[in-house]
Structure 1
Amino acid sequence: MRAFVASPAPETLACLAEVPEPEPTSDQALVSVEAFSLNRPDYLYLAIPGSTFRPGIDAVGRILHPAADGSGPAAGSRVLLHSPEGGAAAERIAVSTGQIASVPDSLDSATAAALPLGGLVARRLLDRLGDLAGRRLVATGVGGGVGQFLVQSAGGAEITAVAAQDEPWEHLPQLGAKVAHRASDLTDASFDAALESVGGELGSAIASKLRTGGTFLWFGQAGGEPITLDFFGLFSGGQSLTLHHFVYSQGMTGGDREDLEALVVLAASGHLRAEIGHRGSWEETPSVLQRLGAGRMAGKAVLSVTG
């Protein structure tokens, strides 16, 4: 079976190779992969020296063999899947039925493949905030998959995305977000919650944009540098903030199927759309990973598994 694996050449990150066929456990289905989407974590995991990570966290395909324990969809069913440990950039993958949701014929494969990770993170971030009506949110690092779903799902809230001029941002106003190109363009103490995933200077500056008692959801560090908070600096904004180290999978012991099914329903009904920044063949995986690493991909990248 062919699959993408970590490349010994660091400049390519991943290469196509022959690997053993998957051997499903009793609660896993064997899925023939039609298309997969690449996410920034694919790049980050592969960029670790000596990585053995296999890319592909989200995908769409058909059930070849259903789970032996009788759970999950039947053979031939069209499904999307979320595999946090990767491995979906392959011809076939074994995946727990708790990580699978059926996909109706009305939903195209590219959209289905683009939904899982970004949709799950956005859905759970907003759930953590509770009632959104009338609230002002500021978000960083949201030019890709998570951002588009955050903006569309933040019903009743006003959301401002902070993105530099040379980063992907043009699609965000079309989805309903305001855009600021620098943190300094924002008024101190003017937001109820911050959703921060960049780190470094930007992430640190965003804290001062919170009103007193605001919420800081820290869900990533894409820039590689940690945030720093100045106790006295927060007197201009961000006093008494509550900081949450947010991990989207925390507490999800039963799998992601319920939330995946909800995302499918929203997308199939037209209430959630996926911005696809790149469509192509899986042979483009190395170059797309580099674009993700450089932060130059608007929306999601979806690649089809070809013969």
Structure 2
Amino acid sequence: MRALIPTGQPETLIEIGLVDPPSARPDEALIKVTDISLNRADYLYLSDPASTFRPGIDAAGIVEQAAADGSGPPQGSRVVMHLPAGGGGAEYATAPADRLALIPDGVDSSTASALPLAGFVALRLLALAGSLEGRRILATGVGGGVGQIIIQLAIAQGAEITAVTAAGQPTQHITALGAKVTQDLDALEPNSFDLLLESVGGKLGSEAAYKLRTGGQYLWFGQASGHPISLDFFRLLQGGATLTLRHFIYSDGDGARDTADMDHLLRLAAEGRLQVQIGHLGDWVGAGAALKEMAAGRLQGKAVLKVT
């Protein structure tokens, strides 16, 4: 069957090639894939020339063959799946029942495929922050799929959110969701935010810490720049500020939790309370170019590929 496979070349990253079709275990369903959602993790894995990673952490499709043990959705169901090890970028994929969620009426497959990883990160990151009512949030690196969900969920919970973006990156979709936007971190008052959501690292992630009020929270969930943060103890001391720094990892490997969260995200989308902006929707032949656009921050939201 055809599948997205790594090329080991930075110019292309991936191509469509031939692989052996998957064989389903008794607790797995065979899915005919229709949509693949790209994530930054796909790009990071494929950037290694020696990588054997096959992209497709998030995908949607139709159950071609239900699990033999009777678990999971029946044949013909529209489903979305989250496969942490990848492999969903193919004509067919297998998935355990606890990695599948039924797509409700009113939600198209492309939208559903864009929800799992981005939605899990947003839901669980904000849950870790605690109550958001009346809190001021500063966020970096929220122009993509994760960010758009973070913004909507945070505002719905009563928070005010300011996004820091790089010059030249699109911001209309961020402001349309209700966030404030700045490209000049220095213009923001120090000690004025309750919570920092940081996923860029480097100088931006380091300097953003000094915008937190005394007792503020710093939740660190990424390092898109490739450079680590660096905090100056004495600068914090002289400024009279204290903060709590916490490193966030989105998954604990609990498939049942993944399905419950996926169902919740799909309900929000079906009820119109969660929008998913897709900045690139195209044929999977263009997967490599779409990955590069996403990694460069030039997309407004998610990149979704149709398996034709």
TM (normalized to structure 1)?
0.96
Q: Which residue of 1 aligns with 2:244?
A: 242
Maintained 8 Å contact 1:99/1:255:
no
Change (3 A) 1:57 1:228: same
Determine whether 1:121 maps to 2:85. Answer: no
Q: Which residue of 2 aligns with 1:32?
A: 32
Determine whether 1:211 maps to 2:213. Answer: yes
Q: CA–CA distance in 2 between the matches of 1:172 and 1:179?
A: 8
Question: What is the letter of the counterpart of residue 37 of structure 2?
Answer: S
Deviations 1:273-299 (A, max 9, x none): 101101110111011011122221110
Q: Which residue of 1 aligns with 2:9?
A: 9
**Offset at residue 237 of structure 1 (A):** 5.5
Q: CA–CA distance in 1 between the matches of 2:246 and 2:23?
A: 38
Q: Which residue of 2 aligns with 1:132?
A: 132
**Offset at residue 59 of structure 1 (A):** 1.2
Q: Secondary structure at the match of 1:232?
A: helix
Identity of aligned residues (%): 55
**Offset at residue 83 of structure 1 (A):** 1.2
Q: Which residue of 2 aligns with 1:53?
A: 53
- Root-mean-square deviation (Å): 1.4
Structure 1: state its 5+ residue gaps. Answer: none
Maintained 8 Å contact 2:104/2:267:
no
Structure 1 runs, 4 residues or longer, greater than 4 Å off: none
Q: CA–CA distance in 2 between the matches of 1:41 and 1:32?
A: 23
Q: 1:261 aligns with which of 260, 263, 276?
A: 263
Q: CA–CA distance in 2 between the matches of 1:237 and 1:49?
A: 45
Q: CA–CA distance in 1 between the matches of 2:167 and 2:160?
A: 21
**Offset at residue 31 of structure 1 (A):** 0.7
Q: CA–CA distance in 2 between the matches of 1:181 and 1:101?
A: 38
Maintained 8 Å contact 1:210/1:238:
no
Q: Which residue of 2 aligns with 1:222?
A: 224
Q: CA–CA distance in 1 between the matches of 2:216 and 2:133?
A: 15
**Offset at residue 236 of structure 1 (A):** 6.0
Q: Which residue of 1 aligns with 2:279?
A: 277
Question: What is the letter of the counterpart of residue 204 of structure 2?
Answer: L
Deviations 1:25-58 (A, max 9, x none): 2322111101111111111110023011111111
Deviations 1:239-276 (A, max 9, x none): 32111110000363645000000000000110001011
Q: CA–CA distance in 1 between the matches of 2:245 and 2:8?
A: 39
**Offset at residue 180 of structure 1 (A):** 1.1
Change (3 A) 1:237 1:208: farther
Q: CA–CA distance in 2 between the matches of 1:75 and 1:237?
A: 61
Q: CA–CA distance in 2 between the matches of 1:29 and 1:244?
A: 37
Deviations 1:111-159 (A, max 9, x none): 1111111111101111111111000111111100011001110120001
Structure 2: state its 5+ residue gaps. Answer: none
Q: CA–CA distance in 1 between the matches of 2:183 and 2:132?
A: 24
Q: Which residue of 1 aligns with 2:94?
A: 94
Deviations 1:88-129 (A, max 9, x none): 111011112211110123211221111111111101111111
Maintained 8 Å contact 1:211/1:237:
no
Change (3 A) 1:105 1:237: farther
Maintained 8 Å contact 2:99/2:255:
no
Maintained 8 Å contact 1:35/1:59:
yes
Change (3 A) 1:251 1:80: closer
Alignment of 1:69-84 (within 5 A): 69-84=69-84
Q: CA–CA distance in 2 between the matches of 1:175 and 1:212?
A: 28
